[in-house]
Amino acid sequence: MQKRKLGKSNLQVSAIGLGCMGMSFSYGPPKDKQEMISLLRAAVERGITFFDTAEVYGPFTNEELVGEALAPLRGQVVIATKFGFDVSPNFDPRGMKGAPGLNSRPEHIKEAVEGSLKRLKVETIDLLYQHRVDPKVPIEDVAGTVKELIEAGKVKHFGLSEAGAKTIRRAHAVQPVTALQSEYSLWTRGPEKEVLPTLEELGIGFVPYSPLGRGFLTGKMSENTSFDSSDFRSSLPRFTQEALKANQALIKLLGSIAERKKATPAQIALAWLLAQKPWIVPIPGTTKLNRLEENIGAAAVELTPDDLREIDSAASKIKVEGARYPERLEKMTGL
């Protein structure tokens, strides 16, 4: 597996990381713990060194899982986690009821970091993201608090998630931002307009989450795909029957390129992201070894400039149906 640096920082990670959320949260019931520990260790054996979690995933259980699985391999991996929510025991991962409010007050950040350090079984968090921008707390206060944590040796790198260009600049002026994590894929291209140019200018890496469109870009879903009520996608406008049907045009495009490249639609979707910038590191999630290996295989798929022009030209004619999130959650993005 090739390595990539996140922007101008010294943080070097595998070109493809692993999003761990779905192992214990959001996509149906939590998966078997021992199976997931085996999968996380198998990822390291296959060259993945970058793992993504958050205190809110579970809540807390995903950090515990990642901490336990990677403890024996600590010197070989980079673990990213996130703060920024008031986590309540009633939190419903579908984001519809009992959802936590935002909380990036300095004292809360420090509490969250102490909890994450224990659960991850580490002395220092490699990369700490603010999970969502908190409009009630100036971003300068957030960046200043993380700066203190870095000086105290509890955190190595500072990241933001779903932040807009102005917020990124303000935070970066206080404490250099190593990476931004936001949704980005062939069917979510919002960051291209303002965010990606800002990151390039400032030397900040980009970590696309949901690079496979929460599974849609694998080509395994049809208009008849249904989701259990415990699956976060059951509440998303983009996963209604109508939207799934309308968005199949994107799958046809990926399928045609995949056939030519002797690859899968998922591999083309990931290879497309990797080809955008050398400082982009997608973090597809999975709970299955064969999918993990398929995703890793994307790093070996080479898309030529002609391929990329063809994909962009065809994709520009396809209108993606459905919002990313319900309105309440959409309001938390791009601040």
Residue 283 CA to residue 303 CA, distance in Å, equals: 19
Q: How many residues are recorded in the chain? A: 335
CA dihedral 67, 25, 207, 38 (to 10 degrees): 50
Q: What are phi and psi of 264, to 5 degrees?
A: -105, 160
Integer Cα distance of 271 and 260 in angstroms = 14
CA distances from 321 to 188, 318, 324 (A): 11, 9, 9
Q: Which of 57, 129, 209, 325 is catalytic?
A: 57
Contact present, 69 and 87 (Cβ < 8 Å): no
Residue 325 annotated as catalytic: no
Asked whether the beta carbons of 60 and 86 are under 8 A apart, the reply is no
Active site amino acids: 57
